[in-house]
Amino acid sequence: MTTFVIVGAGEGGGTAAGSLRDAGYDGDVVLIGEEPMPPYERPPLSKEYLRGESDHHLVRPPEWYDENNVDARFGVRAERVDTSAREVELGDGSRVAFDQLVIATGSRNRRLPLPGLELPGVHDLRFAPDADAIKSSAKNASKAVLVGMGFIGAEVAASLRQLGLDVTVVEFAGTPLERVLGPQLGGAIETLHRDHGVEMIFHDAAERFEGDGRFEALVTKEGRRIEGEMAVVGIGVQPVTEVAEKSDVPTDNGIRVDATLRTSVDGIWAIGDVARHEHPVFGSIRVEHFDNALKMGEHVAKNMLGANEVFDDAHWFWSDQYDTEIQMSGFATEWDETVIRGNVDERRFAAFLLKDGLLLSTFSMNWKHDVRRSMPLIVAGVRPDSAQLADPEVDLRNLKPPSD
Amino acid sequence: MAGEWVKVGPEGEVAEGEMNSFGAGDRMVAIANIDGDLHAFDDVCTHQGCSLAEGELDDTTVECPCHGSQFDVTTGEVIGGPATESVDVFQLRVEGGEVQVLINEQ
């Protein structure tokens, strides 16, 4: 009998356990997670769940783990991987032996070492209790101050506006999501939020949080003082690699895995936010989105059972803000051409990002079908004609080169 | 189980390789046309309720446009993505140029 151990019980770890059983693997599965609850979906935490419109969406029903003979150890932290003994050392000092191991420890929020960060009413958002705390603060607040306008900041801004709060955001860059989307598409997000009454201050950053026993104001580097009853900081995440750092599993901005999600240590894999994988199209990347964790969870289960398949997913995510559905596929850090299909001002468009003619990524507002349809093109390394991309009458499914 | 044949729309409304959704009593039913064969299934994704007919059809797999859940339209079973519950599938017939599905009484 073999034992497969999964460290980290978020979307990736939970899905890996589920997929192993779905595939008929009947050896031992141990799923170790620091959070006390079974794996749940994080995307709603900044959206439906934050607004009180939904309860948690669990990756598998709570009874699934017992029913499928998965040794679920929730509320336990894995401290260290011992690659020579092939054991995982847990926070309580106990050890779990493995034949194969999946590291799915995810990421944690970046924290600024700023005065006042510890004040009640200053939040960040990662886990379910963080969302509960923000909800609770929002009940007694009329104005929120947000630091950072990446996806989490933008989604929280939208949700708090929808709950009736005034929202002011301080963002270091020149538009929301500028680093990810560039100024043009970042500008479309800015307009969306301006149209919904969010006040945004760009090219400024948090200096300190002030308050007498509770948050009262944010003071910025440029000397602004922005008052509010609550603050939410969303300035990005970093991979949780400690479990591997005292072992010979290589880490470097994440845990290094090859295109099959395997580390350089035999039988040890990494998936999700923590995995810096070799993607056949995008190169060495680390992706911090729900769908990636899920797809890698499904994929690693197959490979642990011997499939040895390359993970070539096009990468895809969504972000719902107000009544606008945002979706994006692919991966681009730089591009030299942006082709628009649809109408940016009406917030009904797809934007195709190309470099040297190669389609790398598709971003959309209320135009999601072409995000999906572009994914096979991105993976196939297609250089589509700009005029065809811009023409809504052209079905992207017809642009794919014939498969052999 | 007792059921009722409910009209969903005229034959020929769904092009090959495409899907549409139709009201059938108090349910929304998606019809997919795969190589000329029609398949009927619940249009409401079991994950978060999005319309599956607005998603993508690849062979017999429908992919939800919102969060990527995938179902086999011939069996309703989950193939991938965040959904864990299958969608209902319905028997389908064409009578007098009109597509009907068999909705079981609850």
- What residue of A is the nearest CA neighbor of B52? A369
- What residue of A is the nearest CA neighbor of B17? A397
**Does residue B35 have a pLDDT over 70?**
yes
Instruction: Judge whether B97 lies within some domain.
Output: no
pLDDT tens profile A349-402: 999 999 999 999 999 999 999 999 999 999 999 999 999 999 999 999 998 765
pLDDT tens profile A78-121: 999 999 999 999 999 999 999 999 999 999 999 989 999 999 99
Task: Provide the percentage of residues in chain B whose pLDDT is more than 70.
Answer: 97
Q: Find chain A residues with C-beta within 8 A of B66's C-beta.
A: 318, 325, 368
Most B CBs within 10 A among A40, A41, A366, A370, hence the mutation to make, goes to: A41
Least CB-CB distance to B67: which of A54, A298, A318?
A: A318
Instruction: Judge whether B37 lies within some domain.
Output: yes
Cβ atoms A272, A289 nearer than 8 A: no
Phi-psi region of A313 (alpha: psi -120 to 50; beta: other; left: phi over 0): beta
Q: Which residues contact B6 (CB under 8 A, 6 or more apart)?
A: B24, B25, B100, B101, B102, B103
Task: Give the domains, in start order, of chain A with CATH numbers.
Answer: 3-108+238-304 (3.50.50.60), 122-233 (3.50.50.60), 323-398 (3.30.390.30)
Instruction: Judge whether B105 lies within some domain.
Output: no
ipTM score for this prediction: 0.86
Instruction: Judge whether B99 lies within some domain.
Output: no
Residue A211, min C-alpha distance to chain B (Å)? 40
pLDDT tens profile A196-229: 999 999 999 999 999 999 999 999 999 999 999 9
Q: Find chain A residues with C-beta within 8 A of B81's C-beta.
A: 294
**Does residue A255 have a pLDDT over 50?**
yes
Whole-number pLDDT of residue A314: 96
Rounded distance, CA A289 to CA A327, Å? 12
Average pLDDT over every residue of A246-267: 95
Q: The domain spanning residue B72 has which CATH number?
A: 2.102.10.10
Instruction: Judge whether B106 lies within some domain.
Output: no
Instruction: Judge whether B70 lies within some domain.
Output: yes
Q: Find chain B residues with C-beta within 8 A of A59's C-beta.
A: 82, 84
Q: Find chain B residues with C-beta within 8 A of A298's C-beta.
A: 80
Rounded distance, CA A142 to CA A106, Å? 33
Least CB-CB distance to A294: which of B56, B65, B81?
A: B81
Across the interface, whether the CB atoms of A41 and B82 are under 8 A apart is answered yes
Q: pTM for this structure?
A: 0.94
What residues make up the domain containing B20? 14-90
**Does residue A180 have a pLDDT over 60?**
yes
Whole-number pLDDT of residue A183: 93
**Does residue B1 have a pLDDT over 60?**
no
Q: By C-alpha distance, which of B62, B56, B92 is closest to B76? A: B62
What is the band of A247 on the pLDDT scale with cuts at 50, 70, 90? confident
Tally of domains within chain B:
1
Q: Find chain B residues with C-beta within 8 A of A373's C-beta.
A: 56
**Does residue A244 have a pLDDT over 50?**
yes
| Biggest distance spanned by C-alpha atoms of chain B | 39
Instruction: Judge whether B98 lies within some domain.
Output: no
Least CB-CB distance to A294: which of B54, B55, B82?
A: B82
- What residue of A is the nearest CA neighbor of B53? A369
Rounded distance, CA A254 to CA A21, Å? 27
User: Which residues 24-43 of chain B have a CB within 8 Å of chain A?
Assistant: none
Instruction: Judge whether B64 lies within some domain.
Output: yes
Q: Is A138 helix (H, G, I), strand (E, B) or coil?
A: helix
